Amino acid sequence: MRRAIYQAIDVETIIGKVLRGQAVPTGSPISALLDGYLPELEKRAPYDPAAARALLKEAGYGDGFSVTLDCVNVTYRAAVCQAIATMLAQVGIKVTYQPSPSATFFPKLTQAATSFFEFGWSPAPDPWATLNSIVRTYDGTSAGTFNAGRYSNPMLDELIDAIRVEPDIAKRRRLIGNALRLIHDELPLLPLYRRKLTWAMRPGITVSAWPNDVLELRWIKIN
């Protein structure tokens, strides 16, 4: 089912038409800037509506189904969600698009009160924090806080926990790679794209920017 939805979404069109080219498609759950990143996982499964319909039929949903898509009501994200809803309709999935403010949307993730959702994740300095937050089994404390689908895989949990405490960098990278490959195969979340953040400034001003749209005054230098 997850792979069917994955192959029904034309990310290249979303980037070109909705995001005006200000993104790159990705098949990896973590950024190339993070330790342990595997470039071979960057390649996405091809956009293929016929394959998506075949996978839906194989899963027992040959006539499609209806679902609500929860999204944050940020302009560009709302537009992406609307595009996704249109694309899924082409393979028989009737999507009701439901935008909401962040204060309403994110509690749905932490409380697992949504069945279908789109969200973004700014990279932490280390992949463990990302993996522990979004794909580790929810434990009611810190692990799996944003694992909204309550996906659970003991093998992945074991890898994530080992990454947290492994001091040897080579071994740690292998653990990260194994975790990323497992995620790539099982698709607990469907990777879409990475945004390009564009900042403009006049001559004489130097800015160091976070990768999450936040501009901090302490890192602005006027020459």
pTM comes to 0.89
Query: How large is the average pLDDT for residues 16-32?
Result: 93
How far is the C-alpha of 212 from the C-alpha of 146, rounded, in Å?
17
How far is residue 79's CA from residue 112's CA, in Å, rounded to a whole number? 24
Residues 114-141 have a mean pLDDT of: 91
Report pLDDT digits (tens) over 194-211.
Answer: 988 888 888 999 888 777
Query: What is the rounded distance in angstroms from the CA atom of residue 188 to the CA atom of residue 152?
Result: 9
Q: What is the CATH number of the domain that holds 174?
A: 3.10.105.10
pLDDT digit string, tens, across residues 179-188: 999 999 999 9
Predicted pLDDT at 144: 94
Banded pLDDT at 122 (limits 50, 70, 90): confident
Cα-Cα-Cα-Cα torsion 211, 217, 220, 223, nearest 10 degrees, comes to: 170
Domain that holds residue 126: 2-222
How far apart (Å, rounded) are the C-alpha atoms in residues 76 and 74?
A: 6
Question: Which of 22, 27, 21 lies closest to 9, judged by CA?
Answer: 27
Work out the average pLDDT over 115-142.
Answer: 90
71 beta partners? 99
Q: With bands split at pLDDT 50, 70 and 90, how would you rate the model's confidence at 142?
A: confident
Residue with tokens 């499609």: 64
Residue 219 has pLDDT above 90, yes or no: no
Q: What per-residue confidence (pLDDT) applies to 55?
A: 96
Identify the helix (H) or strand (E) that includes residue 15.
Answer: none
- DSSP label at 104? H
Domain count, the chain: 1
Per-residue model confidence (pLDDT) at position 214? 78
Unique residue bearing structure tokens 């309709």: 89
Judged against a pLDDT cut of 90, whether residue 149 lies above it is answered with yes
11 vs 23: CA distance, rounded Å: 10
How far is C-alpha 211 from the geometric centre of its chain's CA atoms? 15
Residue 16 · residue 70 · CB < 8 Å:
no
